Structure formats: C-alpha cells, structure tokens
Chains A and B, each alone.
Chain A
Amino acid sequence: MPTAPEKGIWKIITASSVGTLIEWYDFYIFGSLSTIIAAKFFPSENPTAALLSTLATFAAGFIVRPFGALVFGRLGDLIGRKYTFLLTLILMGTSTFLIGLVPTYESIGALAPILVLVLRLVQGLALGGEYGGAATYVAEHSPAHRRGYYTSWIQTTATLGLFLSLGVILSIRRIMGVEDFENGNGWRFPFLLSIVLVIVSIFIRLKMSESPLFAKLKSEGKTSVNPIKESFGNKLNFKMVLLALFGATMGQGVIWYTGQFYAQSFLLTKCFIDYEQANSIILIALVIATPFFIIFGALSDKWGRKNIMMVGMLLGVLLYRPIFQQLLNLSDTSKRTVTEQTSNVVQSTVFASASDTTTLKKFDDGSELKMVSHANPKGEHEIKKTLILDTTSKWKMIFLIAVMVLFVTMVYGPIAAFLVEMFPTKIRYTSMSLPYHIGNGIFGGLVPFIATLITTIPGSNALSGLWYPIIVAALCFIIGSLYLSNKMDKDVTD
C-alpha cells in the first residue's frame, strides 16, 4: 500500500487537523453563545421561547449533520477527498463569518432568525462532510501498523476546537467586558475571527495532494458510480454501517457529549458555578486529558480498537452517576460555615413595589455564594445563584471532569481508524461518515436536550438526565462487545 514517508505524513496530519479543528471551533461558538444569540435573533418578549428557538436551531444544526455526511461523503467518493473537504471548509468558514454579520431581530425583524437558521444549517452540512474526509485522508496515507496513532491526531481536533472556542470567547469577554460582549457587538468577534482561521487553513489545504488510494482507484477507473446506493443498498455493506452505528458510534457519541458538553451545562445550571470559573474548569480538564486521544489511538494499534472503546463506554456507564453526584456535593454550600454575609437591597427595575436583594455569603474555605432575588414580570421573586468555588473544590472538579474526558479519549481516540478499516476505499467516505454523524450528531448532540426533558418529569432529580447517555452507552457496549471482533483489518486498499 502506498503510504506517505514519515516526514510527509506530518504535513498531511497538520493540514487535515488544522482545518478540522477550525470547523469544530466554528460549530461550537454558536452553541457556546446560544443564550446571547437567543436574545439577539429571536423575539425577546418571552426569554424561554427565545431560548427554545435557539435550542431548536442548535438541534437542527446537529440533525443536518447526517445529511451533510451523505452529500459530501458521496462527493468525496466521486471526485476525491481533497476537494471535498476543501469545499466543506469554505462553506463552514463563510457561514460562520456571516452569522457574525447578521443584523439583530430588533433591526430587521423576522429575517434575522431566518438568516441565522439557514447559516446554522449550512454549518451543520459542512461539518457533516468534513470529518469523514479528514479521517479517511489521513488513514489512507498512514502505514497500517500506525493508523490508530496517526488518525488520533484528527480525533483531538473536536476537543481542541471546543477548547479554542471557549478560550476565544472568554478572552474577548474579558478584554471587552461582560456588558459590551453580551449587550454590544463583542459576541460577534468569535464568529468574525473564523474567516481569518479559515483562509489560513484553505491556503494550507490547497497545497495538499489527493489520497494515494483514491488517486489509484480513479486512475484505474474503479471509483464508485453511485456511492450512496453501494453504501446502503448493498446488504453486505449496509450490515456494517448498522454495526458501526449501534456497536460503536452511538455509544461513542453520548460518552463524548456527556463528558464535555453536558458536564459544562451541569456546572452552570445544576451546580450554579460562576460562568468564568465553570469554563476555566472545563478548559483545564481538556488540557489535562487531550494527550490521551493520541495515547489511546496509539495503543489501539497494539491492543485493538474495540477493546479500548468498550472499556471507555463501560467506565462511563458505571461512573457517570457517582461522578456527577460528586460534582453536586462539591457545589453544596449547606455544609460550609458562613464567615461573612452582606445584603444589598435596591428598588426593582420591574416592579416599583418590589425590591431586588443581592446577598453575598463568604465561607470559611474561601468559596463565595452570590444570590440575587429578582422580581419577575408576575411579581414573583426569582433567585439566581452564582457560586465561586474555593481552590481545593475547584481542582477536585477539574479532576472529575478530566476523568470523564479520559473516557471520551478512550472511545474517540481509536474510532477514526476503526471506521476507516470497516469500509472499502471506493465508498469509504460515504459509509463511515453517516454512522459517525448519526452517533455524534443525533445520539450525542441530543444529550443535553433529552437530559433536560427527563429532568422536567415529576419525581426526577438533578441526575435523572444521565439515564439517557447511560442507557445508550450500555446498549452500545453490549452490541459492540458481542458483535465486533478486536482483530484489525490492516489492509485498507480493498
């Protein structure tokens, strides 16, 4: 099999990874800024409706990913990997940049949310086409005995994209100030910045050559005429698509989202951790755990892909509830001793007869709890809590999140090599992209949504939402363990 020399493979990995990382960055900033986007682009009279509209937009972004996998997967198997994932990069960068330019609902009315929705759909489509191309491209250049290791660099990009998006948002927020960032135009800069990153990445990717395996197929006239039909209409291949979905990507998707996104949301909404502290906890945990994508990718070349992925899933199934319970315990202020308490009462801006009360409690361990009692439009008082943890509790939380990201690295590190090895070259892009994006986009992407729905059921508690990822991961663990072999198909030239 023609593989790139050692020096050449790093150019290939860099060019592929940088573009994929930027696409993830583009996709995440929308999710991270969803509350601000809701206020800017959806009718503000009803904040819940606005937030739900954005959630629907967010979900739509994920739902269109599988369609992107089909559209661009087909293109990648027909015209080649290089030009297809160049196209996805251009689409993603342009749509992200344009989101940063769309006037608000107050300026242009209903056109604003429609434009944002359309651009978000384009983002989802582009993301659906990107990953399969990058993973296939790197895998088809890699020597068989190091395929897991080399493709694991692509696997780091999703987490690094999240890291980059959080880092950029926090930096701009700090530079401009919270007020300017949220109520001015500061929130637009993370979107606008994308165009610079994308231009750099396009420049790098233009210099790349086509995958040697695809180029060989093309020169021999053996490329697929109809990749979608051959992927899903051919029973032999369709069976493998189903197995890849239910035995691997479904569980990988929920582990991935729970360990990173749901954890982030949990810190903010259930533990009431201060926005900056919660995101810094996630950022540090990501830094600690990210090298393990490479480690487990490399180990999968020796131990097999399946074993590592299944252990990661099992650990998630067994340990999610204890870990999240521990996060709740660490944010519980009822057992801490109050050393200082101050209250400040001001006239409510909503109701003249009501007043807003801000209470600040300082505890003996150094943590601080701020409670703002605010009159809502019905005249009822709502209490908003913000907790700043003491250093010890903060590091305990970082450790717990890092452990969950470690599970992510186990299931996600080897999966590119796993998927590439399952399917033949001429329909690989299409065949591997769809199960990947159904697993991640649908099963994974809907973790926060379904988990939130579960927690609204009477009798549920803060941990009830975890049942969704636990059950899905458990099901996937059983299917993967029984139906998949740990032996690798080293020859991907078929």
Chain B
Amino acid sequence: MNGIKRILGILWIVIGIASITALIYSAATNINTAHGDIGKPLPWLIIILVFTPIAVGLVIFGYYSLKGEYDGEIKT
C-alpha cells in the first residue's frame, strides 16, 4: 500500500499542475470569443484565483506522498 501511495504521489503532482494549466489555457482561448458566459473574463479570473493555491496544495500533497510522508496507517 505504501508503494502505491508513493507512486500516486506523482499523479497528484501531475494533476495539480495539469489542472491549473488547463484552466489558464481554457481562459486564454475562451475569453473574448463567442462562447457566451465563458467568453467573459470575470468568471475565469475568479476561478483561476481560487484554484491556484488549491492546485499548489495538491502538488505539495503529491510531493509529501511521493516522499513517504503518508506511509503507514493514518487514523481519522
């Protein structure tokens, strides 16, 4: 199980980076184009502003996981 957690750490890092990259790319391609609401800058600004620290958090979570910080049993 610890091995799986560590390997998945890489996946969480990738998802963290990919999610914020995808958001920024989507914003750049949709703002000011004829796609209705998603063509407006404000919603994108809010979403990117909010998700950036969360994506960074996911990358840190992945890094800790990769380093074995979550090995063993974690009681809730």
Contacts and interface: CB of A to CB of B under 8 A. Distances in A.
Nearest to B11: A478
A485 B58 contact: no
Interface string B34-58: 0111101011001101110010011
Contacts of A489: 75-76
A450 interface: yes
B33 to A, nearest CB: 11
A421 B76 contact: yes
Given A239-B64, A452-B37, A456-B36, A485 B54 contact: no
A475 interface: yes
Contacts of B58: 246
B75 A442 contact: no
Interface in A443-491: 446, 449-450, 452-453, 456-458, 475, 478-479, 482-489
A439 to B, nearest CB: 10
A485 B38 contact: no
B43 to A, nearest CB: 7
A484 B5 CA distance: 11
Contact size class for B?
20 to 34
A483 B5 contact: yes
Given A442-B54, A456-B36, A482 B74 contact: no
B56 to A, nearest CB: 11
Given A242-B57, A453-B38, A456-B35, A446 B76 contact: no
A111 interface: no
A52 B40 contact: yes
A432 interface: no
Contact of A484 (B42, B43, B50, B74): B74
Interface string A140-159: 00000000000000000000
Interface in A232-286: 239-240, 242-243, 245-246
Given A304-B76, A485-B75, A489-B76, A453 B37 contact: yes
Interface in B1-38: 1, 4-5, 8, 12, 15, 35-38
Contacts of A479: 12
A56 interface: yes
Contact of B54 (A56, A422, A438, A483): A438
Contacts of A457: 35, 38
A63 B35 CA distance: 25
Contacts of A74: none
B38 A239 contact: no
A52 B46 contact: no
Given A245-B57, A483-B70, A453 B76 contact: no
A418 interface: yes
Interface in A302-321: 304-306
A246 to B, nearest CB: 6
A442 B36 contact: no
A50 to B, nearest CB: 13
Nearest to A435: B57
Nearest to A450: B47
Nearest to A246: B61
Q: Which of B5, B36, B51, B75 has the most CB of A within 10 A?
A: B75
Contact of A243 (B1, B4, B51, B61): B61
Given A446-B50, A488-B76, A243 B70 contact: yes
Contacts of A306: 76
A38 B57 CA distance: 35
Determine which residue in A246, A442, A485 has the highest number of CB atoms from chain B within 10 A of its CB, and name it. A246
Given A55-B43, A458-B35, 17 more contacts: A56-B42, A239-B70, A242-B61, A246-B61, A305-B76, A306-B76, A438-B54, A449-B47, A450-B47, A453-B37, A478-B8, A482-B5, A483-B74, A485-B75, A486-B76, A487-B73, A489-B76
Interface of B: 1, 4-5, 8, 12, 15, 35-38, 40, 42-43, 46-47, 49-51, 54, 57-58, 60-61, 64-65, 69-70, 73-76
Interface of A: 52, 55-56, 59-60, 63, 239-240, 242-243, 245-246, 304-306, 418, 421-422, 438, 442, 446, 449-450, 452-453, 456-458, 475, 478-479, 482-489
